[in-house]
Amino acid sequence: MKAIIFDFDGTLVDSLLLGLEGVNQLADRFSYPAFEDTEYIRARGVKQLIKEDLGLRWYQFPIYLRALKKQLIPHMSKLELNEGIDEMLRALYQKAQLYVLTSNIRPAVDFVIEQYKLDLFEGVYAGTSLFKKHRKLQRLLRKHQLEAKEAVYVGDEVRDIVACRRIGMPIVSVSWGFNSAEVLAEAGPNHLAHSPAELLQILEAYYLA
């Protein structure tokens, strides 16, 4: 195993409540009810939220996403690493190439990297689409001359599991992010970690040994 590719929101940084705040600020503008229950959101998939809860048509989503990012930009300084992530990344740094692949904007990722002095990543790929994530992963692999079996993805959503399965890449899901442990387990990742310390143990035991 040569590379570990990390999701950003939820996986590395605690951004669920910040994202929820941005979504609720747009509720009146896009005519959907505000969310109060984070556990309800964690039990839903992104497509379910967009189509059923937000009620957005396909042509509305790019406009909505731009508006949401505009809402969140002034609050980037509120982003914080999940507890234990700093130590985990530093422990992995000498053992594999580290990458970030995220739909969040590059300034948000750069802020966190600078804030925590995490100059550890071989590459950061930000601003990617919420959908067709498998294609974004394939492009990253091609650019760095990696095979899918030479990398492992670490993410917090069911759609990450689906994307990795499509291209034959192993995935370790984390239970502290967007989707709940129960929802992730049902989707069938290769492994499920409940803390950064456990994630490190899994990576070292199964992928870096």
* pLDDT tens per residue across span 19-33: 888 889 999 999 999
Domain of 165 in residue numbering reads as 3-14+79-207
Same domain? For 101 and 141 the reply is yes
The position carrying tokens 């969140």 is 72
Same domain? For 147 and 61 the reply is no
Residue 82 has a pLDDT of: 97
CB 10 within 8 A of CB 157: yes
Is 7 catalytic? The answer is yes
Distance CA 6, CA 208 (A): 15
Among 58, 77, 96, where does a domain finish? 77
Same domain? For 123 and 67 the reply is no
Residue 44 has a pLDDT of: 83
Same domain? For 68 and 93 the reply is no
Same domain? For 52 and 126 the reply is no
Same domain? For 73 and 92 the reply is no
Q: What is the number of other CB atoms lying within 10 angstroms of the CB of residue 68?
A: 16
Same domain? For 9 and 27 the reply is no
127-147 mean pLDDT:
90
Q: How many Cα atoms within 13 Å fall on the side-chain side of residue 74? A: 5
Which of 7, 9, 156, 160 is catalytic? The answer is 7
187-195 long-range contacts, CB within 8 A, separation 24+: 187/158, 187/161, 187/162, 188/161, 189/161, 190/152, 195/84
Same domain? For 116 and 27 the reply is no
What's the number of domains the chain is made of?
2
* Of residues 113 and 103, more confidently modeled: 113
Distance CA 207, CA 43 (A): 29
Helices (H), the chain: 16-25, 27-30, 38-42, 46-48, 61-72, 85-92, 106-115, 133-143, 158-167, 181-187, 196-202
Q: What is the number of other CB atoms lying within 10 angstroms of the CB of residue 17?
A: 10
* pLDDT tens per residue across span 149-203: 999 999 999 999 999 999 999 999 999 999 999 999 999 999 999 999 999 999 9
Same domain? For 70 and 89 the reply is no
The SS3 assignment for 173 reads strand
Same domain? For 37 and 83 the reply is no
Mean pLDDT of all residues belonging to the chain: 92
Same domain? For 137 and 168 the reply is yes
Name which of 10-19, 82-91, 110-119, 138-147 the model is least confident about: 10-19
CATH number of domain containing 127: 3.40.50.1000
Distance CA 37, CA 124 (A): 32
* pLDDT tens per residue across span 40-66: 888 887 778 888 888 888 888 889 888
CB 138 within 8 A of CB 167: yes
